[in-house]
Amino acid sequence: MMDEPQIHPAAFVHAGARLGARTRVGPGAIIDEHVVIGADCEIRAHAVITGHTTLGDGNQVGYGAVIGAEPQDLAFDPKAVSRVVIGDRNVIREHATIHRGTKDGTETRLGSGCFLMAEAHVGHNCRIGDRVILASNGLCAGYVDVGDGAFVSGNAVIHQFCRMGRLAMLRGGGRISKDIPPFMIGDATNRVRGLNVVGLRRAGIGAAARAALKRAFHALFLSGRPMPEVLKELDGDGATAEVREVVAFIRASKRGIVAYRGGGEDDGD
């Protein structure tokens, strides 16, 4: 029937796995017992989907990708039942890896509309939002939180427990062990370069909101004033929704935020 999954004879699909309508599975792919895959997905040759993993509709899993394998954590108990939960319409390219949660009952979560390029890595218990891009060899360690629309460039590394805010960007080869606030560009090691103006424009954030964010950036990183004082001022009457988002993110930080690197403070506007 037209709506039945299309499974290559050389694929290995456990009888207990559940595959949605029109999903295609290539040769040498392995899909284990507790896996649930939605409709209209493409699982390419030699991909491995294991553990208690759920994929939504319209996902593409590339050649040799591994989803749901045990976490790279010395404290992991192999008896723990943990999960990977993936939304809809993601592209997960060749040899990318997404590991399941490390503690019993926990999960690693990838939103919808994301693009994980070749050999990108999402470690255990990460929370990756919608429309996130992880370029080739972009690495997210365990418990990393990446906001909607963020961009992790090639060979960039995010330390465990760090956060990237919405529409933030980490430049190629960047390394962070602190948080990058929303709408900003991380650069080098624990440094912020300026606003992600291109990303803001593409997301439809208008000129007035961008100008307010630029003023907030100057107050936070260039004024030399105490951070609590600046946050209180920025959170006052008349603050835009985007500025309030930055303030709330910084106040919630447990690792601290990146520092200003010097040089040009933004890429436009």
Final residue belonging to a domain, choices 109, 143, 177: 143
255 is a domain residue: yes
Whether residue 193 is predicted with pLDDT greater than 50 in this model: the reply is yes
CATH code where residue 13 lies:
2.160.10.10
Whether residue 266 is predicted with pLDDT greater than 50 in this model: the reply is no
Q: What amino acid is encoded at 212 in this protein? A: A
Whether residue 268 is predicted with pLDDT greater than 90 in this model: the reply is no
Mean pLDDT over residues 90-106, rounded?
98
111 is a domain residue: yes
Final residue belonging to a domain, choices 103, 128, 143: 143
DSSP codes joined into one string, 228-257: HHHHHHHTSTT--HHHHHHHHHHHT-SS-B
Pull the structure tokens for residue 108: 């690693």
Strand, coil or helix: 116 = strand
State residue 1's pLDDT score: 62
Final residue belonging to a domain, choices 143, 164, 188: 143
CATH code where residue 236 lies:
1.20.1180.10
Mean pLDDT over residues 106-118, rounded?
98
CA 110, CA 13: separation in Å to the nearest integer?
23
State residue 169's pLDDT score: 97
Instruction: Kindly report the backbone phi and psi dihedral angles of residue 42, in degrees, each rounded to the nearest multiple of 5, phi listed first.
Output: -125, 115
Domain that holds residue 41: 6-143
Q: What amino acid is encoded at 85 in this protein? A: V
Q: At what angle do helices 227-234 and 241-251 cross, to 10 degrees?
A: 150
Using 50, 70 and 90 to split pLDDT, how confident is the model at 2?
Answer: confident
Q: How many domains does the chain have?
A: 2
State residue 262's pLDDT score: 64
Mean pLDDT over residues 33-60, rounded?
98
Mark whether 135 and 16 lie in a shared domain.
yes
Q: pTM of the full predicted structure?
A: 0.94
Look at the block and give the residue holding tokens 């427990």: 161
180 is a domain residue: no
Whether residue 269 is predicted with pLDDT greater than 70 in this model: the reply is no
Cα–chain center distance at 12 = 29
Residues 6+ apart with CB under 8 A from 239: 212, 247
Q: Helix, strand, coil: what percent of the chain each, to 5?
A: 15, 30, 55
pLDDT tens for residues 217-261? 999 999 999 999 999 999 988 899 999 999 999 999 999 999 997
Mean pLDDT over residues 34-50, rounded?
98
State residue 188's pLDDT score: 85
Cα–chain center distance at 225 = 32
Cα–chain center distance at 7 = 30
Using 50, 70 and 90 to split pLDDT, how confident is the model at 267?
Answer: very low
